[in-house]
């Protein structure tokens, strides 16, 4: 039987189910949570041929009716306003009404796009997440953040729209390219660093996760979703600047700067940028005296063991200190030469600091770069 985790948000609360064979049982699992039997499914054209037949059968077996299946091109480029507009028009053309649910089958791109479409179609229709990447199963499908990218930057148009349920079918991960699996694992390692005991488990079993071992993958997804569910329930809309969802940005201040510099062309995946960001966050924490000098070596060694880049030098291309600092400065409200980072004293001891000296970040990047 699948593991069931609750995201405690009162009336908007929902369950995350993790386990094998969920696509084929999807209809029975969602029917009681939806106001009508009508659904539209949104996927991408790489995932559709692999997993849509099982999901369609699973939905129809319980008497649900799939009004249409919309497949967007795979990749970050589909998270834009033009594609959102096409998806909305196609849903309405197929007969979507206010009681029709939108089902997202795919990675974080499909989840964010379909979730945003569900948030704004007819001022909001029910939404179901069926994540098929490790990243989406451990991170993006839980928490209700949806949206698309603008020319001005990533995820700059969006809405909070919580799903009615998340079905994380671990069978779908069998078809995921190994590089995507490793990239998703970076977020598991991040959750480990935030949570503590999960980091020890990662050091022992991370290599099995990225090798595709079913039991290890399932444990990684379950424990990640448990942590994310708790954090989201405590701070649904990221209203706290210090605790709550803000801590999930561990490794992401550096990571987002790296990603933006690389240019979203697939040369550096989000998870790969985050892995380097985790290594840099550990190194910055040591530099500021919050942990021993051995700690960043341990973090970097584990990520490298799992086939992830963990230092700037591991990435293709050159990242200049000025370019990265410029990106991070844009990201932050820097008062008096200080920056906000999530730092760590060790696994399970992460905290936000708003007064990291810019000079310390600059020094770190110069030494690392």
270 given a catalytic annotation: yes
236 binds ligand NAD (CB under 6 A): no
Question: What phi, psi does 220 have (nearest 5°)?
Answer: -60, -40
Does 132 help bind ligand NAD (rule: CB under 6 A)? yes
Three-state DSSP class for 293? coil
State the minimum distance, in angstroms, from the CB of residue 114 to ligand NAD.
11
d(CA 228, CA 303): 21
Helix intervals (H) in 165-251: 178-195, 197-210, 214-234
Helix (H, G, I), strand (E, B) or coil at 170: helix
Binding mask 255-284 toward ligand NAD (x if CB under 6 A, else -) reads ---------------x--------------
Q: Per rule CB under 6 A, is residue 155 in the interface with ligand NAD?
A: yes
Q: Which of 139, 261, 272, 368 binds ligand NAD (CB under 6 A)?
A: 139
- Interface with ligand NAD, residue 161, by CB under 6 A: no
Is 68 among the annotated ligand-binding positions? no
- Phi first, then psi: give them for residue 70, nearest 5 degrees: -115, 120
Among 110, 130, 221, 229, binds ligand NAD (CB under 6 A): 110
If binding is defined by CB under 6 A, does position 36 make contact with ligand NAD? no
Q: What angle do CA 212, 214, 217 make, to 5 degrees?
A: 75
d(C-alpha 113, C-alpha 115), whole Å: 5
Whether the CB-CB separation of 38 and 98 falls below 8 Å is answered with: no
d(CA 188, CA 167): 18
Using the rule CB under 6 A, which residue among 19, 27, 58, 108 binds ligand NAD? Answer: 108
Backbone conformation region of residue 123, classed left if phi is above 0, alpha if psi is from -120 to 50, else beta:
left
Closest approach of Cβ 76 to ligand NAD, in Å? 5
Q: Please give the residue ranges that form the binding site for ligand NAD (CB under 6 A).
A: 44, 46-47, 50, 74-76, 79, 106-110, 112, 132-133, 135-136, 139-140, 143, 145, 155, 172, 175-176, 180, 270
Just list the catalytic residues.
123, 145, 187, 228, 238, 245, 249, 252, 256, 270
Residues of the binding site for NAD(+): 108-112, 132-133, 145, 154, 172-175
């Amino acid at each position: 039987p699948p593991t069931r985790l609750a995201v405690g948000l009162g009336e908007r609360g929902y369950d995350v189910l993790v386990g094998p064979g969920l696509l084929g049982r999807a209809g029975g699992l969602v029917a009681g949570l939806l106001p009508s039997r009508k659904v539209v499914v949104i996927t991408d054209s790489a995932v559709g041929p692999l997993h849509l037949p099982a999901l369609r059968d699973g939905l129809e077996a319980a008497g649900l009716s799939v009004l249409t299946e919309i497949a967007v091109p795979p990749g970050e480029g589909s998270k834009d306003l033009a594609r959102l507009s096409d998806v909305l028009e196609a849903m309405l053309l197929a007969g979507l009404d206010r009681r029709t649910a939108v089902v997202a089958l795919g990675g974080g791109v499909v989840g964010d796009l379909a979730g945003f479409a569900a948030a704004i179609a007819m001022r909001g229709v029910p939404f179901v997440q069926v994540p098929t990447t490790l990243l989406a199963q451990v991170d993006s499908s839980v928490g209700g953040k949806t949206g698309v990218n603008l020319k001005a930057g990533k995820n700059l148009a969006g809405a909070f729209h919580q799903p009615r349920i998340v079905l994380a079918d671990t069978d779908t991960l069998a078809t995921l390219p190994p590089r995507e699996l490793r990239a998703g694992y970076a977020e598991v390692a991040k959750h480990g660093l935030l949570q503590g005991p999960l980091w020890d488990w990662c050091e022992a079993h991370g290599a099995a996760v990225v090798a595709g071992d079913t039991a290890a993958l399932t444990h990684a997804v379950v424990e990640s979703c448990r942590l994310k569910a708790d954090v989201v329930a405590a701070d649904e809309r990221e209203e706290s600047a210090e605790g709550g969802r803000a801590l999930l940005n561990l490794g992401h201040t550096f990571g987002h700067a790296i990603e933006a510099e690389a240019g979203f062309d697939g040369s550096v995946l989000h998870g790969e940028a985050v892995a380097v960001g985790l290594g840099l966050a550990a190194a910055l924490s040591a530099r500021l005296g919050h942990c021993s000098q051995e700690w960043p070596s341990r973090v970097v060694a584990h990520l490298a063991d799992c086939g992830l880049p963990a230092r700037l030098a591991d990435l293709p291309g050159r990242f200049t200190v000025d370019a990265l600092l410029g990106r991070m400065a844009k990201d932050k409200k820097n008062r008096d030469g200080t920056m906000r980072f999530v730092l760590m004293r060790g696994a399970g001891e992460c905290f936000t600091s708003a007064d990291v000296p810019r000079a310390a970040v600059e020094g770190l990047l110069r030494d690392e770069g």
